[in-house]
Structure 1
Amino acid sequence: MKKIAKMSLVAAMAISGLTSASAADLTEAIKGVKISGFVSYTMEKVNNAKITAAGATKGQYSSDKSEAQHDIDVRIQAVIPVNDMVTATIRLDEANDDDTDATGSAAVDSNSLRLELDRVYFTYKNAKFSTSFGLMQVPLTDAAQGDGITASYDFGAAKVNAGYFYTTAEGSDEVAFISVAGSIAPVSYYATYASVLDADATTTGNRNGTTDDNKGNFLHLGVSGNIEMISLALDYSQKTDLSTGNEDQNQYKVSVGADLGMVTLGLAYAANDKDGGNTLVDGSDVAASEISVGDLELHGLGDASAIQASVSVDVNATNNVKLVYAAADVEGTNMDQDVIKVTYTNMMSKNFSVYANYEINDKDSSDDKMTELTLGAKYSF
């Protein structure tokens, strides 16, 4: 019995020693690691005035005039120091940001969701020069991933960045780009030029089913500045399409804002050219020249223009109410659209907020009248 007790004591001490050593190693390993990210949960309730059979767009469901679902967003990023000049970045992101399943075809309700590795890259930094290679964000996309290499140099008044992606989440597209951004008080500016070198017929932007689908050159420019309490901005984007049968597309936006202390006002006008304003590599709605509110996305409306007006009121230090109105005028169709969106936000702490949104989307085409109520919370770290 004593022998067994002795052996147990020795084993416990050995395990304790290993545990202490492992803890020390772990402490050393995580020293200097920067962890950031967010967790958000949104409950969404959509009501439609009339439902189409296809139920193909946001807010449409083929069998029910009312649909509730959730939107869960989770992101965790770690920046790990490798040595004095090199860091490794790893990011996990929830895979169903658009409330659809992995194929993008069905709404997700009360099911387990997946975290995916969507950023894995190394960065070398030496003074004003840095270069990264691995799985990173492709420019002129809505955070689409791509495998490639980038390099940048900070000249002070201008930061120049260039890179090449040999494959992207948009198919087998190869993308090369160069950008410059900076400020010369009181004006800030940016310019990005990108070229899709080897496009694949499965990509999303303006596809026509050919092997050179979405092949083209992309140019985005912008200037902005502040004069006292007034802010002004001008943004322009262009796609020179090299695909068979597709036309070039352009979009511009003029914005003005006023910061009156507790009240902030905003007004913007944007327009596509006659062939449309689809000017991003992935065909998304995040261009600086875009107006996108609720179900209204200007870039997808062809020959169209839109206005957006907003009023934001800080009720007190932690509560804010914002009203946004947007309207699109589509040339020669019955697809004109109006959107009203009201948002209430309560900042319970510097990194935690709760919010409520109510949207009214009204198109001239009667099949697309929709209201949407969302309630949510977001924690950032």
Structure 2
Amino acid sequence: MKKFAKMSLVAAVAVAGLTTTSSAKALEEAIKNVDVSGTVVYRYDDQNYDHTGDVDNNKYKIGLTLKSKVNDDVTAVTRFIVGSQDDAGFVSLDHADSTKGDAQADVSLSNVYFSYTGIANTTINFGKQGLTTPWTVAIDADSNEQTGTGILALTNVGPVTLAGAYFNQTNLNTSSDVKIDGSKALGVTTKLVDGNNHVLDGDKNIITVGAMGNIGPVALDAWYLDMQDSFDSYTLGAAAKFDLDSVKLSMGIRHTELDIDDKLAGKELAKEDNSLTKVDLGAKMGIFGANVTYGWTDSEGGLAAVDNDSKAALQGWNLKLNGVADATFLKTSIDAQVLPSLNLALNYNVLDKDKINGVRGEDLTDKEYFLQASYKMSKNFGGYIRFGEVELENDGAKDNDGTVGRLQVQYSF
């Protein structure tokens, strides 16, 4: 992160809010203790499906994080989002609607918390902050973010890092990617709702604990999370990297179990076992690379996370495994670093579904394949272009094939 002598108006106002007239401290002095980091992202998506029509839109998101040193033990942290007011993701200025012009995006305060480091080997964050768990995404340059108000503590005990958190308020009522309802339609990407199709209140308490450590080249972690009157879940993960001279290998495995509470969706759904397991393997040799990930879900339920980008979930571009029961997902890619600044990749993903209760039929297969060219002009500026095809089998009683494209540009500072 960089220290700036000059700041934008938003940053200056945020810093000014951390000072008082009684301190008589000049704004210039306060700015010296502020670290600024963030991202600016523009995305254009274009989708053309046989039966669901064309969709194209412009999307924008700016994330600005300010860390101000209060004293030797306390740091004040704030994060501002220019994007969606609901989930801290992209704001979409819909090009598909010809009646709308180029609209403006609002600025919102996403995080405001204090970080205390006065205890040896310990960090305690208290206030409105990102939900840093394997089931959620706390910070994301180009997608939605889960936040909550509460306390998070991390402490190192020898080679192990222990984590514990309690939140009495979250934004999961608007920021989640999954659906839980009495009809058992768990494959639909929508908001987290209860058995009566009511959006879950944001005041549900969350308690989570975790442990992370290393044994040689292997990194291990174990987490448990309980959301009041909603669900409880645990996840176990392992990852390792090996440098074998000419070949660099990476591998990992994660297993997640999630049980829905009776009060949320009724006893019938609560009896279901939800689990998602995934194994991945990557290799890098010279300018060439390859990655393969294989995942599967329980025959009764496949819900494992509240965000499809989280560690507990698995997704490709337009296909995902999270929330799909009795399914397997194969995600593959090969790439070549043809220039120091240019990477070309071919991706092929397959989602096999033995059944989706009440939504689709039996033994269905969805596929997607796409090319991606990633260009990095400098260390802090780059982007990518994607173009591909999606084949959805028996989607809404019909096969639905589509052509999809994307342009994304990102600046980091």
TM normalised by structure 2 equals: 0.74
Give the secondary-structure state (helix, strand or coil) at the position aligned to 1:29.
helix
Check if 1:26 corresponds to 2:27.
Answer: yes
Check if 1:117 corresponds to 2:148.
Answer: no
In structure 2, distance between residues paired with 1:291 and 1:132? 29
Contact preservation (8 Å) 1:39, 1:74: yes
Give the secondary-structure state (helix, strand or coil) at the position aligned to 1:299.
coil
Give the secondary-structure state (helix, strand or coil) at the position aligned to 1:230.
strand
1:48-77 deviation line (CA, Å, top 9, x unaligned): 1122xxxxxxxxxxxxx3232111111000
Check if 1:129 corresponds to 2:122.
Answer: yes
% same residue: 25
In structure 1, distance between residues paired with 2:234 and 2:75? 31
Give the secondary-structure state (helix, strand or coil) at the position aligned to 2:300.
coil
Match of 2:255 in 1: 236
Q: How far off is 1:179 after superposition?
A: 0.9
1:283-313 deviation line (CA, Å, top 9, x unaligned): 3212434331122111132211111111121
Check if 1:218 corresponds to 2:233.
Answer: yes
Higher-Rg structure is 1
Instruction: Indicate how the Cα distance of structure 1 residues 108 and 330 shifts in structure 2: closer, same or farther if over 3 A, else same.
Output: farther
Contact preservation (8 Å) 2:57, 2:92: no
Check if 1:141 corresponds to 2:136.
Answer: yes
Give the secondary-structure state (helix, strand or coil) at the position aligned to 1:276.
coil
Match of 1:379 in 2: 411
Query: Which 10-residue stretch deviates more, 237-246 or 216-225?
Result: 237-246
Aligned residue pairs, count: 323
In structure 1, distance between residues paired with 2:304 and 2:155? 27
1:271 aligned to which of 296, 311, 332: 296
1:97-135 deviation line (CA, Å, top 9, x unaligned): 35558xxxxx99732112211111001003311111101
In structure 2, distance between residues paired with 1:72 and 1:335? 35
Match of 2:331 in 1: 308
Contact preservation (8 Å) 2:303, 2:324: no
Contact preservation (8 Å) 1:294, 1:361: no
1:187-266 → structure 2 map (5 Å cutoff): 187-197=218-228, 199=229, 215-227=230-242, 228=244, 229-243=248-262, 244-245=266-267, 246=269, 247-266=272-291
Q: How far off is 1:322 after superposition?
A: 1.6
Check if 1:79 corresponds to 2:87.
Answer: no
Contact preservation (8 Å) 1:181, 1:189: yes
Instruction: Indicate how the Cα distance of structure 1 residues 285 and 108 shifts in structure 2: closer, same or farther if over 3 A, else same.
Output: farther
Paired letter, 1:70: N
1:356 aligned to which of 385, 395, 401: 385
| Structure 1 gap segments, 5+ residues each | 1-23, 52-64, 102-106, 200-214
Instruction: Indicate how the Cα distance of structure 1 residues 82 and 286 shifts in structure 2: closer, same or farther if over 3 A, else same.
Output: same
In structure 2, distance between residues paired with 1:291 and 1:131? 30
1:168 aligned to which of 155, 167, 170: 170
Paired letter, 2:371: V
In structure 2, distance between residues paired with 1:136 and 1:161? 15
Q: How far off is 1:32 after superposition?
A: 2.3
| Structure 2 gap segments, 5+ residues each | 1-24, 94-98, 138-144, 173-201, 356-361
Contact preservation (8 Å) 1:121, 1:132: yes
Give the secondary-structure state (helix, strand or coil) at the position aligned to 2:43.
strand
Contact preservation (8 Å) 2:390, 2:403: yes
Contact preservation (8 Å) 1:326, 1:340: yes
In structure 1, distance between residues paired with 2:412 and 2:328? 36
In structure 2, distance between residues paired with 1:92 and 1:338? 37
Contact preservation (8 Å) 1:334, 1:364: no
Instruction: Indicate how the Cα distance of structure 1 residues 291 and 359 shifts in structure 2: closer, same or farther if over 3 A, else same.
Output: farther
Contact preservation (8 Å) 1:189, 1:224: yes
Q: How far off is 1:367 after superposition?
A: 5.2
Give the secondary-structure state (helix, strand or coil) at the position aligned to 2:254.
strand
Give RMSD over aligned pairs.
2.1
Instruction: Indicate how the Cα distance of structure 1 residues 43 and 286 shifts in structure 2: closer, same or farther if over 3 A, else same.
Output: closer
Contact preservation (8 Å) 1:276, 1:299: no
Check if 1:284 corresponds to 2:307.
Answer: yes
In structure 2, distance between residues paired with 1:369 and 1:100? 24
